[in-house]
Amino acid sequence: MSHDATTQSSSSALQAVTARLKHSPLLLPLAGLIVVSIAMAFASDNFFSLDNIVNVLRQQSIIGILAIGMTFVILTGGIDLSVGAVMALCGTLGTGVMVNMGMPGGIGLLAMIVVGILFGLFNGLLVAWGKMPAIIVTLATMLIARGLGLVYSGGYPISGLPGWVSWFGIGRVAGVPVPIIIMVVLYAMAWVLLQRTAFGRHVYAIGGNETATTLSGVNTKRIKLIVFMISGFTSAMAAIVFTGRLMSGQPGAGVAFELDAIAMVVLGGTAIAGGRGLILGTLIGAVLLGIINNGLNLVGINPYLQDVIKGLIILLAIYIGREWR
């Protein structure tokens, strides 16, 4: 009897897990991750080595961080095309504060964060209060951010940073690269924000039905503003890692990073129209995209052809996701 009861409860627990997974937006990204990993493992002996996996994560960390802010914005039904350019602007101005103005390094890093958040504020004000579509606003501010960085530096990289800054780009803690740690910590923070705070619920509500959310008394403008500020903040965090890795302020960095970030969000199962998706999905999307890049390299495919394959894989993923709903 008791034996029966336990098997029943364990099988119903299993059923509950499968039922939850079946309706989870994570199902497809996870399935994709598994399929691609197996394919890559067959294609290359090196793929499943610890070194290679750490390598994939490290490579994905910068855009993976940008994709966090992107997830917030896309969940509200918006988009932020300026993330790559803002990252470059943060890195350039922050480096300038340290090198050209001779301020202590801490102030320089703080400056990066302030610049990122302020730029997000700028985007958010234009979208929420200016009532303009995010895609156009951030297309324009992408140009502005890129241009400002180039104007400030005269188009040249700024080098001469204190050596410890490289810790953010190439340092390790207990053998784990610092960029990976930063990325994972930021994802954890984003998860808490989205799943465990009222703000997070409001983000999903706006993406689900903005009019209904406004009429129910939620201050939707404020939420949209904060969402863009978060995106600005993650751009700044990406800038810190990027600067640490290259040990210089690069005004031309991050071109087309926004596109990879969007691809990660979409591969992670977040609806481009907003309202549905999980931050964990974006992390899976980041890893998935990394494995595809890495695998194509390991197999030795022509880099030009790699872009074609990547594009096709993204299309396929979205198509399957669409059929699934």
Residues near another protein (CB under 8 A) are 192, 196-198, 201-202, 204-205, 207-209, 211-219, 275-276
Amino acid identity, position 311:
G
236 is written with which tokens?
């700044």
**CA separation for the pair 137, 141 (Å, rounded):** 6
Q: How far is the CB of 191 from another protein (least distance, A)?
A: 12
136 vs 273 by CB, closer to another protein: 273
201 vs 310 by CB, closer to another protein: 201
Q: How far is the CB of 284 from another protein (least distance, A)?
A: 20
Checking DSSP bridges between strand 172-173 and strand 176-177, what pairing results, if any? Answer: antiparallel
> Do 198 and 222 meet the contact criterion of CB atoms below 8 Å apart?
no
> Do 181 and 125 meet the contact criterion of CB atoms below 8 Å apart?
no
24 vs 209 by CB, closer to another protein: 209
84 vs 274 by CB, closer to another protein: 274
> Do 284 and 29 meet the contact criterion of CB atoms below 8 Å apart?
yes
251 vs 269 by CB, closer to another protein: 269
Amino acid identity, position 141:
T
> Do 292 and 310 meet the contact criterion of CB atoms below 8 Å apart?
yes
**CA separation for the pair 25, 75 (Å, rounded):** 13
Q: How far is the CB of 301 from another protein (least distance, A)?
A: 39
7 vs 195 by CB, closer to another protein: 195
229 vs 246 by CB, closer to another protein: 229
Q: How far is the CB of 19 from another protein (least distance, A)?
A: 12
Q: How far is the CB of 208 from another protein (least distance, A)?
A: 4
292 is written with which tokens?
């595809």
Count of residues for the chain?
325
Q: How far is the CB of 214 from another protein (least distance, A)?
A: 6
Helices assigned H by DSSP within 23-104: 27-43, 50-75, 83-99
**CA separation for the pair 325, 323 (Å, rounded):** 6
Q: How far is the CB of 221 from another protein (least distance, A)?
A: 8
Q: How far is the CB of 238 from another protein (least distance, A)?
A: 25
DSSP state of 164: G
Angle between helical axes of 83-99 and 220-246 (0-180°, round to 10): 60
172 vs 276 by CB, closer to another protein: 276
List of residues 6+ apart from 143 with CB closer than 8 A: 85
DSSP bridge pairs for 72: none
